Structure 1
């Protein structure tokens, strides 16, 4: 047990290494020898037809090797916020700036975004030291209207939460379940606020009679909005609440609440979310300049009001905080169905691998639920930065002053970053669609460390795509962004291994080349099955010793993965769904993301950033809750899935028929029969959608016909290859 503390008698947090570390290393050693034997055997027996399997095995070997870095030293931490408060008075806590980004009011409902902001405003934290900044990259008048309404509702909601000990402080989440008694009045107030915002959203604009204006310039702001477009408008910065001026109904100060829509121009690159975060960083430095920053997705509300105190257990430890850049909480999600059919929790990325990286130099930044030390974003390494937070000062005295607002508008201009180091050496990093991954990686390379904080009660809860097509599109975007890091001048395998550490470089390398999984998954999902149809063996016979090597490699890898999954709190059924979605992503998101990145590199334009929808239709939600997959979209992803599913079904049927008639076929083709059966078992929801279902989630007839045509084409190509072999 390792303990870091402020004083010798007060431990703010503890760390314990995983008891599985020794087992992981022993397993890695044995598996490594088996992999070398497999590659040697493959090289000795390679033919023109089996050469794709050699490439697939090399990719599998690389991905397995890089994944061992996550298993080298997993750790678990525990924080003691009560001990922190015994040592540090509330007035001595550092100021906290919260950043919330939204980009599309149609896909990210403004009322829901406002609810997320309200949950952060209700932290168990001194309100005069708390500021919430909302970045509206959609330039939407309705979003500003929603936050003006939220500012009024906050006067009632914040004292209600604290007086009644409410832990779930997002009003949307709190009122989604039945609450009665003293909360009924509050429910009516919230519903009224939400209805006003939704009515304005339905009309597509905000009319003057929808709202009460406190200032003439507020009316002028909405009058001017008619001339705005999403990508061409001046900056809009509105201080909606100011701690030094505004109080709740009990007389206590309210947190600062600031709305920002940065300047946009078609002539300037806006760098997506990273650009919005950098504007927030600069604007907040002009207004509150808190030394601690929290970034939140617009749908990721606070579920644990004490999470800032947990982060400060590390930031306020002088023996620990000198090189601490950020404290990352895991992404947790609400409303996931019982067996998580779409593997929406992404356990490896958000928890299992994060604990593994925490034992090295710290987890990666995953875009939300992350507390930053502002000084880590200044562009200098920890050796060049102050090792402690500045003395606490009021963070609201200059918030709405003319000079602060003038400076804030200046730094929110779309040309402010020209000829500066913003996005390259300062702030959140540009050059990748996955700005979170890129930023965390670069901070680690600069010498900073991070911490993974995973309390029993989830700190933040959010929404995930509950539509398979949306989820695959989101994953495809990640793959493109990860490749942008992999093939940059700061690639993890060389630059990262040198600047951070070899093991951390391998961790980042694993995800940078995540899309490469498409090579072995497509190869093993089609080639052995087509060869089975035409009685071409690609693997050792069941009676040969080499067969046991292949069996060991398969079952040991899957068995180890299952043990990790169960140790993280998963079930066998959810693990099965998780590995099924991994294969589905491999032949869809990973493949399409790889192709899109390759096209971009040769100058062929491809679709750019798309906001994932947070809206779900009732019928679709009902199917999801029952565990039924949705294949109702006219998606090229589903055409690929249908093709692979049909090839495996046909090869399995033919293979079983032949094995039933001749025992030597079973001996010679056992591995290929097993692969066909294994893939076909994973494809059962696809077969249902193609042939059995009649509801709105079935696969469109057009997609089924396209899949059948492609499967037939692959069979014909296999026949030609066999004919000329």
Structure 2
């Protein structure tokens, strides 16, 4: 009998989810019936239809969630370590000032230090900014790797990112020596960063000096291809004489006349260049800040790829995104547990989790074709034997990195490689691969395989959400709409899952309606919901409470805390009225041929103070952003409506009975908006709301109350 490499189990909550689905479906039908038999606002009906539609789509994730376990200790019974398939690691960076080169280098070093045969491991770094600063950091990292890799191997280090390891403290004498070396590396790179270029005095090697001399006329969007073999396994050894893995720096050619297709284009350039150099059958994609936290992560992925009964149609193994440095209550909801764990477990029970852009081990062949009927030949798993730095190999690599390579090769980005056509190239690529018949697997070990950094700025978090929503709209309203195309190509439930994400931006419709209309009606004494004494009241109570209770239970099942769950639902509300709203407007304007008005976001608080406020659990509103105007407007409308509505309800006979739902709704939003009120009216630190934003919010609130007066009286 073949050794067991992995097993799985349908999550016990699947049965409860299905029972809840039946009860909730009946309740929704009753709600719609109530709308048709009683006079109600059309806008409330519209909001309820949208909420019901999004709830229905979300049931795809809840129908058959799966948990998996791997047994990497059994791999030795399947294959010898020297016969493991080669692995190419892709790391993408684009801006040395937004993505510090030392951090990117730490990510690369953590991948170089995998417990994997060095002659079968290659790390490719794509620098889409074409920055000499990034290349300089990697020249330094290549030198440091000669000491760092044997140190990790001999001491059983698990955190193999030097930045993460040295920040954890507790260094012995040998570790202190390594730390001094790493600090020297950082100082040299920081010195170049301060100057804005690589001073040749910082470079010792004549060969390196010649390379940096060519950099003077390079710009971010106009430069030739640069391919530099920094480490080559066949030639380079560490200080113990052990061969080092390959490490290759790539900056693809860019010119203003050729589209570069953002990160998907960079990944496809890596795909082609690596094919000419190492051509490993397995590919790991990593974000530049997503460091390895488990040197045995590749072995966990191999538990699926080396299962001959499982692997013929397996495209990728997806690890969850996990984060470090998040504050106690995760005030900006940076963990994304619902997306990266709950959602992936749900999809894993259907055709497999979606690709989330990092922590993904791909079968190279899945990026070129549809699933084969039979297993590929063993020749696919052979590593090329020629030197990477040979003239012939580099010539082919430069051709593959050319900006004109895809001219006349329209299959790139549509049928081959990472897919173009959406700002969320990861979501779109995973979705299209599933539509082709490939499947995927979610691997979620107890020890996080990879750790990254979540946004610690509210503006950054909201801007990131806006970009995602625009990209998801691009898929939602394309010929590959998940509800229409995906449901036919994959399955109905998987189509629901992908459509749920694609329609994420639509949350702004019900959230804005429920965030303003009942409150304005409350202010003017107009009841929109059943009385508390009416049996229909309990229907609304059940719909609200059961949704939130289920949400809380799921969140805590995957290791979440109640405080963090509260932060997550608050950020869902905030993003619905900010990121989602502006993304919807941007997408509509782009579809009618108008350019969306941009806005420059310049924080007025120093980074050190912003980080300190974040660590203390304080929101930072120091930027004069339109996001904050919409938040402030809804917060002001709700608190004024709640105060005046409560007074009127108490003074009027039967008022509380008639207005209870609207009072509870306003009170709920006021509670969620407390950090906004503090930032507007009581805080004196650098994270307070700019006066211009507060004034704009008050003005818009006044306009809304005037419109409410016209509408309700």
Q: Give yes or no for TM over 0.5.
A: yes
Query: For 2:4, what is the secondary structure of its paired residue?
Result: strand
Aligned residue number for residue 17 of structure 1: 10
Q: CA deviation at 1:392?
A: 4.3
Q: CA deviation at 1:720?
A: 1.5
Q: CA deviation at 1:323?
A: 0.3
User: 1:408 and 1:610 mapped to 2: Cα distance?
Assistant: 38
Alignment of 1:439-458 (within 5 A): 439-458=429-448
Aligned residue number for residue 129 of structure 1: 120
TM-score normalised by length of structure 2 = 0.98
For structure 2, list consecutive stretches of 5 or more residues without a partner in the other structure.
none
Distance 1:252 1:316, change over 3 A: same
User: 2:266 and 2:565 mapped to 1: Cα distance?
Assistant: 36
Aligned residue number for residue 312 of structure 1: 302
Query: For 2:62, what is the secondary structure of its paired residue?
Result: coil
Distance 1:508 1:424, change over 3 A: same
Q: Deviations over 1:212-245 (max 9, x none)?
A: 2252xx3333112111111011100000110000
Aligned residue number for residue 414 of structure 2: 424
C-alpha RMSD of matched pairs (Å): 1.7
Q: 2:331 aligns with which of 341, 346, 350?
A: 341
User: 1:450 and 1:357 mapped to 2: Cα distance?
Assistant: 9
Contact 1:363 1:451 in 2 (8 A): yes
User: 1:325 and 1:332 mapped to 2: Cα distance?
Assistant: 22
Query: For 1:55, what is the secondary structure of its paired residue?
Result: helix
User: 2:39 and 2:378 mapped to 1: Cα distance?
Assistant: 61
Q: 1:58 aligns with which of 49, 61, 71?
A: 49
For structure 1, list consecutive stretches of 5 or more residues without a partner in the other structure.
1-7
Aligned residue number for residue 406 of structure 1: 395
* 2:226 paired with 1:236: yes
Aligned residue number for residue 177 of structure 2: 185
Q: CA deviation at 1:43?
A: 2.5
User: 1:429 and 1:142 mapped to 2: Cα distance?
Assistant: 29
Distance 1:610 1:255, change over 3 A: farther
Q: 1:323 aligns with which of 297, 301, 313?
A: 313
User: 1:46 and 1:586 mapped to 2: Cα distance?
Assistant: 27
Aligned residue number for residue 192 of structure 2: 200
Alignment of 1:233-632 (within 5 A): 233-378=223-368, 380-383=369-372, 386-387=375-376, 390=379, 392-395=381-384, 397-420=386-409, 421-606=411-596, 617-632=607-622
Aligned residue number for residue 102 of structure 1: 93
Distance 1:489 1:391, change over 3 A: closer
User: 1:607 and 1:659 mapped to 2: Cα distance?
Assistant: 43
Q: CA deviation at 1:391?
A: 5.8
Aligned residue number for residue 119 of structure 1: 110
* 2:17 paired with 1:27: no
Query: For 2:97, what is the secondary structure of its paired residue?
Result: coil
Aligned residue number for residue 640 of structure 2: 650
The aligned length equals: 710
Q: Deviations over 1:100-151 (max 9, x none)?
A: 0001111000011001000000000001100000000111000000000000
Q: Deviations over 1:130-173 (max 9, x none)?
A: 00000001110000000000000000000000101100000011
User: 1:440 and 1:612 mapped to 2: Cα distance?
Assistant: 35
Q: Deviations over 1:378-421 (max 9, x none)?
A: 0x210367446536434563311211110111111111111210
Q: CA deviation at 1:41?
A: 1.1
Q: Which moved more, 1:166-175 or 1:412-421?
A: 412-421
Q: CA deviation at 1:608?
A: 9.0
Distance 1:611 1:587, change over 3 A: closer
Contact 2:280 2:381 in 1 (8 A): no
User: 1:321 and 1:610 mapped to 2: Cα distance?
Assistant: 48
User: 2:263 and 2:33 mapped to 1: Cα distance?
Assistant: 46
User: 2:16 and 2:60 mapped to 1: Cα distance?
Assistant: 14
Q: Which moved more, 1:318-327 or 1:565-574?
A: 565-574
Q: Deviations over 1:350-381 (max 9, x none)?
A: 00010000000100000000000000000x21
Contact 1:142 1:197 in 2 (8 A): yes
Q: CA deviation at 1:86?
A: 3.1
User: 2:182 and 2:620 mapped to 1: Cα distance?
Assistant: 33
Q: CA deviation at 1:80?
A: 0.8
